Structure 1
Amino acid sequence: MRIELVQQQTLKLNMTQELQQAISLLQYSSDDLLSYVQELTMENPLIEVRENDYSPFRQKPSSSTKQSFIENTLREKTGLREHLRQQLIDFSLNKNDRACLELLIQAIDSNGYVKDSLTDLASVLGVSEELLESKLYFLQSLEPAGIGARSLQECILLQLRRLPIRNELAEIMISEHFRPFAEKSWKELSKKLNVKIGEIQEIHDLVKQLEPRPGLKYEADDCTYVKPDMTIKQINGDWRILYNDELIPQLLISEPIECSGPFSLDEEAQSYYSKKLTQGKWLQRAIEQRKETMINVMKVIIQKQQDFFIHGKSHLRPLTLKEVADILNIHESTVSRTVKDKFIQTPHGLVMMKTFFTNKVAEDNGEISSASVKMKLKKLIDSENKKKPLSDQKIANELKTLYDIGISRRTVTKYREQLNIPTSAIRKEY
């Protein structure tokens, strides 16, 4: 064995801490970026935030009718639980009752369900399961109807029992025959209960009017409004990108004042302020680079997806991350980070930036995208005869006949499931 000393030159990319942070910054949503900047301002005395009427760092609410995104977010998280607590004010409850009800309110999820077992919850307070269950029944009597249910079956039943005119057959159907009713095994139910299928259909129509997630509207009222990162408008025939600078704080970096004489900074203090100054300037550059990258990617998207901006989502064409990356001469992962959790206001509504990227359905279908096929598929199902709904094979045949889109039955099934559309047997109405 021979040992030699060999000198070799290699090219290697070292990921500095600044580069790693810049990459992280690119994939942050506006909300995450605000939180990150807020953390840095707490630990870096040289970073200041230039406040305006929309600044998320303002301590007092703005006199403007617009309110900050963070204020909306904070209010959204307490909507449902506060609504339930306010209803308890009218009742004379002892300390033990209030403790049980507060525990149950805390256990309610955003849909309005209690998913934790009563056994586990009772052990937290050291009370009997029977006592906690009696308080759950009390909670279920509050608004909205269906709140505090432990399953979809119980949620629907609670709402049926609150109807001004109660439907006894519907209550029996849900409480005792929920599974075959939901799976539309109606012929068996018709024979078993000695009722007509038309009556079961009427119950089905009634249940469809109820709310399967009664708590959701209290959460959604405040959080459905999302401020877009960019807005796309057509001005004088050209598509313009309006970047929403209101979402991102304007930073001011204060350089430390040099002192002389007995008040001059020692070497350790100078080193500290030098590092903080570098960090502040890097943050300014990184935020500006994030903005520039987002705009550049959006320009390519507009160029490639002209039909979408003119006609809507059904005209999306196939577009990959690699295509955009090659045009901008950047890495594919950079494009992926850029579009992550970003929202765009378009003439056809608010969409996520990643919506513009969709694959081809099949090579022989040319420039048609999977998103476009899904919309056409949904349109066919929405307009079908509900008494004779289309099977997946018939949908595939209709797509070929009407739109010259040749996809297999299995692909139709996959797209239908992705759209959360049930099978033809469940869609059937009598």
Structure 2
Amino acid sequence: MRIGLVQEQSLKLNMTQELQQAIALLQYSSADLLSYVHELAMENPLIEVKETYRSPYRQVSKNSDKQSFIENTCKEKASLREHLRSQLIDFHLEKKDRDCLSLLIDAIDSNGYLKDCLKDLASVIDVSEEFLESKLYFLQSLEPAGVGARSLQECILLQLRRLPARNYLAETIVEQHFQAFAEKSWKELSKRLKIKIIEIQAIHELIKKLEPRPGLKYESDDMSYVTPDMTIEKVDHKLHIIYHDELMPQLIIHHPLQSDEAVKEENDTRDYYSKKLTQGKWLQRAIQQRKETMVNVMRVIVEKQEDFFIKGRSFLKPLTLKSIADLLDVHESTVSRAVKDKYVQTPHGLISMKTFFSTKIDEDKGDVSSAAVKIKLAEIISSENKQKPLSDQKLANLLKNDYDIRISRRTVTKYREQLNIPTSAVRKEY
């Protein structure tokens, strides 16, 4: 074995900090990018952010800033825990009672349920489980109805007991026969309770109007809304891509090195401002590059999914990230980042850019995508006879005979479950 020095020539990609940040910017949603720009402007004195007229994240009144402030203040929503605590103000409670209720409120999850074991919670503040349970019953009497439930069954029962017109049969069924009712073993239930199936059906319709997650409406996420990054419009039989530049604020990069004599004299100060100037220019270029990449990806999507934009959702074709990347001569990960958390307004509604990508379901029929099949499957089920719902096998046969879509019963089951559509037995109405 000989030991010696060998010289080799190779290519190696070094990920500079600027390149890493540019990649991060591409995958940011408009909201995240806006937040990032404001954070950077706080650190960089050379970056000035001028808000554009249209901002999806901060609505500005045309009349006055004061009016806008009042409107936005009125729209603020209390969280579920804040809402529950505010209701305790009206009660004169002992410290022990208030401590127990505070503990229970903190343990409530975003859906309004209490998932923690009462025994474990009771040990935290050294009270008996029975005493803490009595405080839970008090908490369950507050608004919204169903809050503090430990299961879906208890949540529904709490809401039924709060109805202005009590339905005692519904309460009995939920309290004592919930599993049979949920599994739609209604024939057995009708025999057991000696009632007609149509009465059980009426109770089912009543329960469908209740809220299975009573705390969800107090979540701050419900206040947010999605604003499209681009809009696809059909003009003179042609599809046009409109990129919403107004979503981003206008960036102004100042150049102190050209005008400030004091900056020119101090080396440290000059170096500092030089770095900040470079950072500001990079940010402008990165935002522009993000826009160009998104528009280029969308342009290819429009070309490949033209039937979708013209005819509707059921005409989605199979499309992969790799096929787009190959056409644009970029890496597949670049396309993935460009469509992440991005939305497009189309003639058929607001669509996530990820929606346009799906695999084909039949090797012999490359123009049929799994997304299109799911849409068609949902349409068939929504229009079926509810008294005689279609089984998965019948759905597979119908797709084959009426729409020339050949998929197995097992695939129908998989797609149905992905759409959160229950089995035919559960869908059946009487």
Same fold? TM cut 0.5: yes
1:428 paired to 2:413? no
SS in 2 for 1:350: strand
Shift in CA distance, 41/421, structure 1 to aligned 2, threshold 3 Å? same
Aligned residue pair count: 425
Alpha-carbon offset, residue 308 of structure 1: 1.5
Give the AA of the match of 1:62: V
Q: Extract unaligned runs of 5+ from structure 1.
A: none
Distance, in Å, in 2 between the alignment partners of 1:328 and 1:72 is 43
Measured after TM superposition, the shift of residue 55 of structure 1 is 5.6
Q: 1:6 aligns to what SS in structure 2? A: coil
Alignment-derived partner of residue 63 in structure 1: 61
Q: CA deviation at 1:27?
A: 0.5
Instruction: Indicate if the aligned counterparts of 1:314 and 1:372 stay in contact, CA closer than 8 A.
Output: yes
SS of the counterpart of 2:10?
A: coil
> Gapped runs of 5+ residues in structure 2?
none
Aligned to 1:311: 311
1:377 maps to 2:373: no
Cα 1:304/1:385, change in 2 over 3 Å: same
Work out the CA distance in 1 between the residues paired with 2:32 and 2:157.
41
Say whether residues 1:282 and 2:309 are aligned partners: no
Q: Distance in 1 between matches of 2:56 and 2:144?
A: 33
List aligned pairs for 1:327-342, cutoff 5 A. Answer: 327-342=327-342
When normalised by structure 2's length, the TM-score is 0.89
- Residue 199 of structure 1: CA displacement? 3.1
Q: How does 1:6-405 map to 2 (within 5 A)?
A: 6-54=6-54, 62-64=60-62, 78-94=78-94, 96-219=96-219, 222-223=222-223, 225-257=225-257, 259-260=260-261, 265-405=265-405
8 Å CA contact 1:343–1:351 kept in 2: the answer is yes
Deviations 1:149-205 (A, max 9, x none): 221111100111112222222212111221222112333333433434333333222
Deviates more, 1:234-243 or 1:338-347: 234-243
Q: Provide the C-alpha distance between the structure 1 equivalents of 2:35 and 2:132, rounded to a whole number of angstroms.
A: 39
CA distance in structure 1 between the partners assigned to 2:85 and 2:234 by the alignment: 48
CA distance in 2 between partners of 1:350 and 1:341 (Å): 13
The answer to whether the 8 A contact 2:396-2:407 is kept is yes
SS in structure 2 at match of 1:184 = coil
Say if 1:269 and 1:224 are closer, same or farther in 2 by CA, change over 3 A: closer
The more displaced of 188-197 and 341-350 is 188-197
- Greater CA drift, 381-390 or 198-207: 198-207
Any idea what SS the aligned residue of 1:173 has?
A: helix
More moved, 384-393 vs 336-345: 384-393
Cα distance change, pair 354–425 in 1 and its aligned pair in 2 (3 A): same
Closer, same or farther: CA 19–399 of 1 in aligned 2, 3 Å: same
Given residue 168 of structure 2, which amino acid in structure 1 is its aligned partner? E
Structure 1 residues 239, 85: CA separation in 2 closer, same or farther (over 3 Å shift)? farther
Deviation track 1:248-284 (CA, whole Å, cap 9, x = no partner) reads: 22222222246547x7543332222222221111111
Determine what percentage of the aligned residue pairs are the same residue. Answer: 71
Taking a change above 3 Å as real, the CA distance of residues 235 and 120 of structure 1, as seen in their structure-2 partners, is: farther
Deviation of the 1:51 alpha carbon: 2.7
Distance between the aligned counterparts of 1:23 and 1:151, measured in 2?
Answer: 44
Deviates more, 1:250-259 or 1:413-422: 250-259
Per the normalisation by structure 1, the TM-score is 0.89
Q: What secondary structure, in the 3-state scheme, does the structure 2 residue paired with 1:195 have?
A: coil
CA contact (8 A) 2:52 2:247 kept: no
User: 1:240 Cα deviation (Å)?
Assistant: 2.2
Q: Deviations over 1:96-146 (max 9, x none)?
A: 544444443443333222223334444555554444433332232223321
Report SS of the residue matched to 1:376: helix
